[in-house]
């Protein structure tokens, strides 16, 4: 083997992101000193981004089995659930945080492109996209630059690619001032039995690279994503990839057509770590190896070195293992779509990855030793309860004065970026392309997308309130799962399964790791209760910034992506009040809880308080009740109570049709808690007066608390007899305030 390469040492290993112990492990596994190319391969494959070395122990404790699952968690590029009638849903969420913080447009755009490739490399056609975005203070000029770049990147890529962006969430908090979070989710449809595995079966089968040419963009991107952001991170700009949605659209159509020929044995997207990752993971799953000729890889830059070709994260590329003898069928399809399809090697039975350049062996490594679930290191880090919990434990709600002017408080709350409409964001996304989105003009708590050729629809959402998780990682993550399920149920669907995007700080920080461990425990317990197994997802550590003032980790943000099934479209339930004089009910327990609310932070300036009241069993029973009410036709609308509390939920239901409400609070509770508290397990429903007696008779037999709040009005807002004005003035603020802040 050629040794005419950079001499390696422990110092070089450290610069590549390996530890001294891992450098010794590499030498042990190879039985010799690695050359630079081999060391680079190990460095990216053993990075946190690829190996999950600090998280996989705990991830394996999550519920991973369910009656709807068609593949095990982590077995394929994305989760796969049975949705009936011979169809399956493939879905997954991933992060693109560091690239978006450095170059927001391309960082966000390539995040969208990458997650869609995970779906269609399985043979599924993407039908919907969602996202979950976290930004810092929108008043800061640099943050406005990041926000505008990210939103435009998501919109441009998705709109050009031709998949509707149907849902998501946007939060603002100072903890994200330096390290924003950009999580992208894709959902697709495929016929059961027609998926393609990410495997390299069959020694002797040819290996192809298809799609775009390989360049120097994204080299060591996986390593970049596995380190803290610093004030010098802008120097790592070459680590950010550049996307081309039009090329990806061609790749989508060509891939699905090629799968139909039967010529493809296995296929995998080239995401993090590029050719290195796809060749090693596909080989390791099959217990095979590959012989790859790097000089046959189409490149767009001259004189690329072996390690550059192997580690490049250039977008819109995939690795395909074809059936020997069917190469021409494969080539014809990609030629038809004007895409390069180059044979670069073959599958072997050695279990090793042998990379050649101009006939010279430049790297020889065992596939199994590189990958998650194989020889990649696995760590359990020490953890300890964070110091800031001392501040949380001192919170005393009795020391918070109940305001006297509730209209003024509500008006201030309606100017919070976390409460107002994110219309400025979602209007840049095409939600109607492919004409299957049911919620563009009929909004519900979750996005609803029709499944063509059936009377069914998929219901999908992304959810997480990171302030709740910061206050209590265990309870806060349970709430994230519960809210996702609640949104799906309030839309008429039944939850099926979960994917997650776990955004945390540095795992070597014991307080950060404590947050991670208890978030996983909370997710596991909630998913078991809702029978929503975790199909896979993404762990994103190192979301913190090292600056002059020390290390600032983001709030723990375990984003939940959940998919449910609407078995009949006629059961689609929207969140808007339908007509004046309809009765308004609040389902679920009312409490004196103001903890961790937007009201407490914005009006009283209290940033350390416990997570809001939450009972997992009561939440489950509430959702079962809402499901029954929808199917019995007893309610006109359903909307969960979340950020901003009951008042904001009522306003969101009223504003859509420019209606209002006349309600009365319950004297037994603090009025601020009743209106603005964020205790969980509550849903607002509206009811036609003609069926109210039937509803009351039904509710009396259930085990869920409820209270009749009042009636829908023609537009006036009245609380306890006090006139809060006409809905039109509030609607103006709600729809346009964020636009004013950002511009």
Residues marked active site are found at: 49, 96
Distance CA(691)–CA(160), nearest Å, equals 47
Torsion of CA 636, 639, 644, 646, to 10 degrees: 50
**CB-neighbour burial class of residue 743 (10 A; exposed 0-12, middle 13-18, buried 19+):** exposed
Closest of 360, 361, 325 to residue 343, by C-alpha: 325
25 three-state secondary structure: helix
Non-local CB neighbours of 214 within 8 Å, separated by 6+ positions: 274, 275, 297, 298, 299, 300, 304, 309, 312, 314, 317
Interior angle at CA 113, CA 441 and CA 124, nearest 5: 75
**By the 8 A CB rule, do 124 and 195 touch?**
yes
Token look-up 């669907």 returns: 493
Distance of alpha carbon 336 from alpha carbon 257, whole angstroms: 10
Rounded Cα distance, 734 and 728, in Å: 10
Q: What is the DSSP string of 230-276?
A: ETTGGGGGGGS----HHHHHHHHHHHHHHHHTT-EEEEEE--TTHHH
Integer-rounded Cα radius of gyration of the chain: 26
CA angle at 725 for the pair 722 and 730, rounded to the nearest 5°: 125
| Distances in whole angstroms, Cα of residue 293 to Cα of each of 207, 296, 314, 349, 414 | 10, 6, 18, 17, 60
* Alpha carbons 596 and 608: distance in angstroms, whole number: 7
What's the length of the chain?
A: 743
Q: For every residue of 114-160, which 3-state class applies, written as one string? A: HHHHHHHCCCCEEEEEEEEEEECCCCCHHHHHHHHHHHHHHHHHHHH
DSSP string, 444-458: -SSEEEE-TTSS-EE
Beta bridge partners of 360: 357
Place of tokens 């519900």: 444
DSSP SS3 for 478: helix
| Tokens matching residue 363 | 């790297």
Angle at 298 between CA 294 and CA 303, to 5 degrees: 70
């Amino acid at each position: 083997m050629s040794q005419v390469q950079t001499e390696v040492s422990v110092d070089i290993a450290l610069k590549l992101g390996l530890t001294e112990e891992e450098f010794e492990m590499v030498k042990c596994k190879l039985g010799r000193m690695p050359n630079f190319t081999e060391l680079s391969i190990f460095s990216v494959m053993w990075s946190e981004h690829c190996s999950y070395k600090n998280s996989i122990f705990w991830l394996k404790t999550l519920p991973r089995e369910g009656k709807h699952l068609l593949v095990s968690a982590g077995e394929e590029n994305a989760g796969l659930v049975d949705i009936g009638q011979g169809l399956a849903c493939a879905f997954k969420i991933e992060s693109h945080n560091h690239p978006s913080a450095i170059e927001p447009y391309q960082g966000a755009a390539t995040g969208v492109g990458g997650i869609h490739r995970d779906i269609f490399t399985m043979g599924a056609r993407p039908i919907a996209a969602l996202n979950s975005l976290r930004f810092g203070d929108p008043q800061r000029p640099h943050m406005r630059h990041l926000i505008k770049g990210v939103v435009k990147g998501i919109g441009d890529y998705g709109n050009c690619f031709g998949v509707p962006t149907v849902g998501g969430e946007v939060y603002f908090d100072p903890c994200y001032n330096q390290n924003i979070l950009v999580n992208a989710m894709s959902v697709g449809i495929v016929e059961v039995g027609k998926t393609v595995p990410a495997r390299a079966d069959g020694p002797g089968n040819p290996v192809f690279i298809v799609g775009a040419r390989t360049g120097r963009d994204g080299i060591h991107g996986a390593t970049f994503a596995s380190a803290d952001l610093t004030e010098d991170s802008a120097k790592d700009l070459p680590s950010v990839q550049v996307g081309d949605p039009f090329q990806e659209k061609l790749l989508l159509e060509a891939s699905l057509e090629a799968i139909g020929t039967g010529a493809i044995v296995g296929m995998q997207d080239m995401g993090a770590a590029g050719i290195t990752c796809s060749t090693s993971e596909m080989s390791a799953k099959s217990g095979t190896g590959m012989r790859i000729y790097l000089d046959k890889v189409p490149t767009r830059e001259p004189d690329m070195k072996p390690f550059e070709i192997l580690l490049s994260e250039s977008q819109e590329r995939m690795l395909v293992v074809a059936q020997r003898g069917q190469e021409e069928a494969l080539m014809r399809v990609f030629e038809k779509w004007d895409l390069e399809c180059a044979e670069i090697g073959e599958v072997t039975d050695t279990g090793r990855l042998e990379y050649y350049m101009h006939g010279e062996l430049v790297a020889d490594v065992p596939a199994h030793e590189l990958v998650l679930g194989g020889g990649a290191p696995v760590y359990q880090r020490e953890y300890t309860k964070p110091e800031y919990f001392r501040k949380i434990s001192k919170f005393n709600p009795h020391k918070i004065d109940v305001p006297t002017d509730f209209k003024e408080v509500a008006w201030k709350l309606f100017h919070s970026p976390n409460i107002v409409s994110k219309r400025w964001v979602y209007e840049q996304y095409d939600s109607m392309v492919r004409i299957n989105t049911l919620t563009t003009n009929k909004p519900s708590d979750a996005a609803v997308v029709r499944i063509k050729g059936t009377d069914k629809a998929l219901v999908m959402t992304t959810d997480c309130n990171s302030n709740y998780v910061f206050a209590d990682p265990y309870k806060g993550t349970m709430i994230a799962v519960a809210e996702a399920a609640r949104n799906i149920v309030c839309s008429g669907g039944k939850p099926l399964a979960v994917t997650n995007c776990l955004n945390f700080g540095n795992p070597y920080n014991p307080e950060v790791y404590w947050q991670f461990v208890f978030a996983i425990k909370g997710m596991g317990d909630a998913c078991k209760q809702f029978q929503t197994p975790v199909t896979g997802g993404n762990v994103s550590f190192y979301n913190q910034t090292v600056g002059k003032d020390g290390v600032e980790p983001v709030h723990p943000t375990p984003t939940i992506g959940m998919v449910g099934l609407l078995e009949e479209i006629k059961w689609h339930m929207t969140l808007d009040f339908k007509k004046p004089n309809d009765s308004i009910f609040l389902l679920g327990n009312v409490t004196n809880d103001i903890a961790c609310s937007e009201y407490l932070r914005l009006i009283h300036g209290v940033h350390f308080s416990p997570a809001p009241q939450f009972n997992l069993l009561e939440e489950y029973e509430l959702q079962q009740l809402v499901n029954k009410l929808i199917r019995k036709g007893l309610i006109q609308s359903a909307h969960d109570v979340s950020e901003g509390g009951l008042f904001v939920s009522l306003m969101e239901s009223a504003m859509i049709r420019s209606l209002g409400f006349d309600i009365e609070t319950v004297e037994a509770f603090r009025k601020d808690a009743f209106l603005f508290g964020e205790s969980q397990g509550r849903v607002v429903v509206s009811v036609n007066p003609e069926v109210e007696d039937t509803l009351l008779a039904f509710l009396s037999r259930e085990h869920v608390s409820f209270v009749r709040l009042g009636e829908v009005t023609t537009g006036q807002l009245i609380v306890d007899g006090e006139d809060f004005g006409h809905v039109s003035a509030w609607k103006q603020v709600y729809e346009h305030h964020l636009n004013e802040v950002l511009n």
